């Protein structure tokens, strides 16, 4: 029944545990994926549910009991180079699936921490990840474990052996494309975006048949590019051009326009829409591309069957600060005047939090999630930023030598009020828990031209802390009022995902190495444990043999040490690592 491969034989403990649970052949179904949030014995989606709320109804670990929580095992990812570990673990039938730096996948016995198999994508020389060799996790479907690689491929592995079942090239890594986000599976299709906005790639979202990797549709995210749908192996225009070329871009710049949907997507079955965010328009130097530059720095609602853009909401039109709009859009409902509002919340790099109507993309309200925003004085009634023109980095063409434009100090820094690290929404407190950072940057523009496979910025920058005592701030935000209910300040920038539970707890990791458990209502620290290296992964919780478990990856890295300027110097003492830690209460 179970084949032994050359790479690694199944361990005895796995065969025994599979036999004990009698679920060796339990495949992940569309129903499992849709119900994931409320089924506590497994975690089969990125975000603990396709909505991405990162909320669990489990409450055995709660504000009363969490003090007793302790690690039960730790697993080392090995490898000679320790780099950022941004993965979210998945759990199915007592097996944990994680990704590691350099496009690796591990299957681990969730009871013991024993390795079951390991897959290494063996990357070519010349990959071009902008921001560390990280990966954020796998998707599960059927008997497959599916992930994206730094050389822009999708790879599907068999869950029991780690053997490749199918592999597809999504895009050309030599042009600057890569994949770091966890794909999601919706209605049997694997949906992925691509990274590469710093190299002038063309952003796109693609859907593949999860069973065999056949392409189903493609939706470019730069206005002017045609979308396609494949039927019976035939490529057809899906009839939706996504706008005409040259409307919001000058000349040919749309052909290298960036807008990379690099952080993956969410899905809400209620309105049957995918939600993907898009990154900066390329190049960063905004004076080269007058116009709003659709669909860069936006949130897009996409039809999961065809790839059609149903609505778009642009957070930073004509972005000049690298305020990528990729952050997750989380669906949630709330009551107002007795009526249910089908809303969605999203926290942007540009410093604002947006509440949108998720049926049509209408702006409901917006509010700041950092103390200092210098590039805009606020949002208008449609949610468009009100620019402070003097805070846009100057045009090099206006300078004496035409080499370097005026330097401005902009807040937030381009690494964002909030970057990729996913926030959580609690159904109990009706609050969003948003990991933010308070920093600013000196930024200036320079001339640049597109060249395949080269950095395409036309800008220089240095990031600086605003406060001596802290940069990271975990904020509890009320989406109905925009009020901050509490804040937790952290010396280093926060770069970890958040988890909220019915135990009135919010979990987050910090670069100092701690897994922190905070009181969801007050922000008081109820638990802390040092994992030995900085945490930049996303914690999960699940139930096994009647006990509640919590797991998180530890391993400092990601964009901050590489791009952080003065901030990177300030935290250069933090140690690297690469491990998974799993916790529970004593019996």
Residue numbers annotated as active site = 322
Q: Supply the minimum distance, in Å, between the C-beta of residue 284 and Ca ion.
A: 8
Does the footprint of Ca ion cover residue 248 (CB under 5 A)?
A: no
Does the footprint of Ca ion cover residue 324 (CB under 5 A)?
A: yes
Residues within window 436-475 making contact with Ca ion, judged by CB under 5 A: none
Extract the runs of DSSP E, i.e. beta strands, from 199-245. 204-209, 215-220, 228-231, 234-237
Choice between 228 and 262, CB closer to Ca ion: 262
Q: Supply the minimum distance, in Å, between the C-beta of residue 49 and Ca ion.
A: 8
Q: Supply the minimum distance, in Å, between the C-beta of residue 123 and Ca ion.
A: 22
Residues within window 2-61 making contact with Ca ion, judged by CB under 5 A: 36, 39, 42
Report which residue's Cβ sits closest to Ca ion.
Answer: 39
Out of 322, 438, 440, 512, point to the residue binding Ca ion (CB under 5 A): 322
Sequential DSSP letters for 364-430: EEEEESSS---SEEEE-TTS-EEE-GGGSPPPGGGSSSSS----EEESS-TT-SS-SS--EE-TTT-
Choice between 66 and 201, CB closer to Ca ion: 201
Instruction: Give every CB contact of residue 515 below 8 A, 6+ residues apart in sequence.
Output: 507, 508, 509, 527, 528, 529, 531, 535, 539, 550, 552, 581, 583
Does the footprint of Ca ion cover residue 319 (CB under 5 A)?
A: no
Our measurement of the distance from residue 448's CA atom to the centroid of its chain's CA atoms, rounded to an integer in Å, reads: 29
Sign of the Cα pseudo-torsion (461, 462, 463, 464, in order): negative
- The interface region with Ca ion, picked from 152-160, 195-203, 362-370, 510-518 by CB under 5 A, is 195-203
Choice between 280 and 331, CB closer to Ca ion: 280
Choice between 42 and 160, CB closer to Ca ion: 42
Here the tokens at position 529 are 């444990």
Q: Supply the minimum distance, in Å, between the C-beta of residue 326 and Ca ion.
A: 8
Choice between 18 and 559, CB closer to Ca ion: 559
Count of residues that interact with Ca ion, criterion CB under 5 A: 8
Choice between 197 and 242, CB closer to Ca ion: 197
Q: Supply the minimum distance, in Å, between the C-beta of residue 525 and Ca ion.
A: 28
Q: Which of 210, 219, 221 is nearest to 183 (CA)?
A: 210
Give the 3-state secondary structure of residue 455.
coil
Task: Report d(CA 303, CA 216) in Å as an integer.
Answer: 12
Does the footprint of Ca ion cover residue 279 (CB under 5 A)?
A: yes
Query: Is there a contact between 275 and 266 (Cβ–Cβ < 8 Å)?
Result: yes
Choice between 261 and 385, CB closer to Ca ion: 261
Q: Supply the minimum distance, in Å, between the C-beta of residue 281 and Ca ion.
A: 9
Task: Report d(CA 427, CA 387) in Å as an integer.
Answer: 35
Choice between 500 and 516, CB closer to Ca ion: 500
Does the footprint of Ca ion cover residue 161 (CB under 5 A)?
A: no
Extract the runs of DSSP E, i.e. beta strands, from 438-482. 439-445, 459-465, 472-477
Q: Supply the minimum distance, in Å, between the C-beta of residue 263 and Ca ion.
A: 10
Q: Supply the minimum distance, in Å, between the C-beta of residue 48 and Ca ion.
A: 7
Q: Is the peptide bond before 283 cis (omega within 30 degrees of 0)?
A: yes
DSSP 569: H
Query: Is there a contact between 532 and 30 (Cβ–Cβ < 8 Å)?
Result: no
Query: Is there a contact between 579 and 554 (Cβ–Cβ < 8 Å)?
Result: yes
In Å, what is the CA distance from 14 to each residue of 96, 311, 344? 11, 46, 41
Out of 197, 224, 261, 405, point to the residue binding Ca ion (CB under 5 A): 197
Sole residue written with tokens 């569309």: 30
Residues that bind Ca ion (CB under 5 A): 36, 39, 42, 197, 279-280, 322, 324
């Amino acid at each position: 029944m179970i084949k032994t491969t050359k790479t690694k034989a199944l361990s005895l403990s796995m065969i025994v545990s599979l036999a004990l649970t009698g679920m060796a052949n339990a495949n992940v179904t569309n129903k499992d994926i849709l119900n994931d949030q409320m089924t506590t014995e497994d975690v089969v989606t990125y975000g603990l549910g396709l909505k991405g709320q990162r909320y669990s109804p489990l409450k055995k670990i709660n504000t009363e009991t969490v003090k007793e929580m302790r690690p039960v095992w730790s697993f080392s990812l090995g490898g000679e180079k320790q780099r950022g570990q941004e993965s979210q673990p998945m759990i199915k039938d007592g097996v944990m699936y994680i990704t590691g730096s350099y496009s690796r996948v591990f299957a681990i016995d969730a009871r013991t921490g024993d390795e079951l198999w390991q897959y290494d994508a063996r990357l070519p020389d010349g990959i071009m990840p902008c921001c560390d060799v990280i990966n954020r996790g796998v998707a599960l479907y059927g008997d497959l474990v599916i992930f994206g690689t730094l050389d822009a491929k999708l790879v599907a592995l068999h869950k029991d052996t780690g053997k490749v079942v199918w592999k597809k090239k999504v895009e050309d890594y030599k042009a600057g494309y890569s994949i770091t986000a966890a794909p999601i599976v919706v209605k049997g299709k694997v949906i992925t975006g691509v990274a590469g906005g710093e190299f002038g790639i063309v952003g796109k979202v693609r859907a593949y048949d999860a069973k065999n990797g056949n392409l189903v549709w493609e939706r470019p995210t730069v206005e002017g590019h045609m979308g396609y749908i494949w039927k019976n192996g035939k490529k057809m225009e899906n009839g939706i051009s996504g706008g005409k070329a040259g409307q919001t871009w000058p000349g040919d710049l749309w052909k290298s326009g960036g807008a990379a949907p690099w952080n993956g997507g969410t899905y809400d079955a209620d309105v049957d829409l995918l939600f993907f965010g898009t990154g900066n328009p390329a190049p960063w130097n905004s004076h080269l591309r007058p116009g709003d530059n659709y669909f860069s720095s936006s949130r897009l609602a996409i039809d999961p069957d065809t790839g059609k853009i149903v609505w778009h909401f642009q957070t930073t039109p004509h972005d000049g600060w690298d305020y990528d709009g990729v952050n997750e859009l989380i669906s949630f409902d709330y009551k107002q005047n007795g009526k249910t509002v089908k809303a969605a919340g999203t926290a942007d790099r540009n410093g604002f939090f947006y509440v949108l109507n998720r049926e049509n993309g209408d702006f409901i309200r917006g509010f700041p999630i950092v103390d200092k925003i210098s590039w805009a004085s606020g949002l208008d009634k449609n949610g468009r930023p009100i620019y402070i023109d003097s805070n846009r980095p100057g045009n090099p063409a206006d300078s004496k030598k035409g080499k370097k434009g005026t330097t401005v100090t902009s807040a937030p820094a381009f690494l964002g009020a909030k970057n990729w690290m996913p926030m959580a929404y609690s159904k109990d407190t009706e609050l969003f828990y948003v990991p933010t950072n308070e920093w600013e940057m000196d930024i200036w523009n320079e001339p640049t031209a597109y060249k395949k496979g080269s950095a395409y910025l036309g800008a220089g920058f240095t990031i600086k802390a605003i406060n001596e005592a802290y940069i990271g701030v975990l904020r509890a935000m009320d989406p109905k009022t925009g009020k901050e209910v509490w804040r937790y300040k952290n010396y280093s920038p926060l770069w970890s995902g958040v988890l909220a539970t019915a135990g009135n707890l919010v979990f987050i990791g910090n670069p100092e190495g701690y897994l922190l458990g905070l009181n969801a209502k007050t922000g008081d620290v109820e638990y802390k444990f040092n994992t030995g290296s900085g945490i930049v992964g996303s914690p999960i919780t699940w139930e096994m043999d009647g006990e509640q478990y919590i797991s998180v990856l530890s391993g400092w890295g990601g964009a901050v040490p590489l791009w952080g300027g003065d901030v990177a110097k300030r935290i250069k003492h933090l140690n690297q690592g690469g491990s998974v830690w799993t916790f529970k209460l004593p019996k």
